[in-house]
Amino acid sequence: MSSSHSERRALHLVVRAPWAGDALARALLHANARDAIVLAQEAAAVACAQHAADTPLRDALAARRVHVLVADLAARGLGAAALHAGCQPLDDAAWVALAVACDVSVTWY
């Protein structure tokens, strides 16, 4: 707990697709520019350009640090090459490093 309140960083893990609930909308509402958002499980599909273009959340995704787990993309037959420009692919090692770099994590589902 060495970070001051203003410096603290949160990791927002989104596990439900936006067409199945408001998890992503709530994560975007509570994340600031320093925070990290990770799209996992069913939410991974929204990182693909085709899906992102279909949602009003596209602009919000581009304005924040948004990552997507490549393992969850692969499990759904989706490739990292099709990602929306605002989304960064994240492998397991990078996910662990990101979690360590953040002070607190919150899962939205």
Partner 1 sequence: MARILLLFGHATHDGWRAREGLDAGLAALAFDHELSLLFVGAGVCLLRTASQAAPGLRDWGPSLGALGAHGAERVGADADALAVHGLAGARLRLDAIALDAAQRSDWIRNADVVLPF
- Give me the residues that bind partner 1 (CB under 8 A), please: 1, 5, 8-10, 22, 26, 29-32, 35, 103-109
Least Cβ distance, residue 79 to partner 1 (angstroms): 30
Nearer to partner 1 among residue 32 and residue 77 (C-beta):
32
In this complex, which beta carbon is closest to partner 1, that of residue 16 or of residue 67?
16
Neighbour tally for 1: CB within 10 Å:
6
Choice between 49 and 109, CB closer to partner 1: 109
Q: Is 99 helix (H, G, I), strand (E, B) or coil?
A: helix
Question: DSSP 3-state helix, strand, coil percentages of the chain (rounded to 5)?
Answer: 45, 25, 30
Smallest distance from the beta carbon of 96 to partner 1, in angstroms? 18
- Are 16 and 108 spatial neighbours (Cβ–Cβ below 8 Å)? yes
Q: Which is nearer to partner 1, 13 or 73 (CB)?
A: 13
CA gap 70, 80 in Å, rounded: 7
**CA 12, CA 55: separation in Å to the nearest integer?**
19
| Smallest separation (angstroms) from partner 1 to the CB of 30 | 5
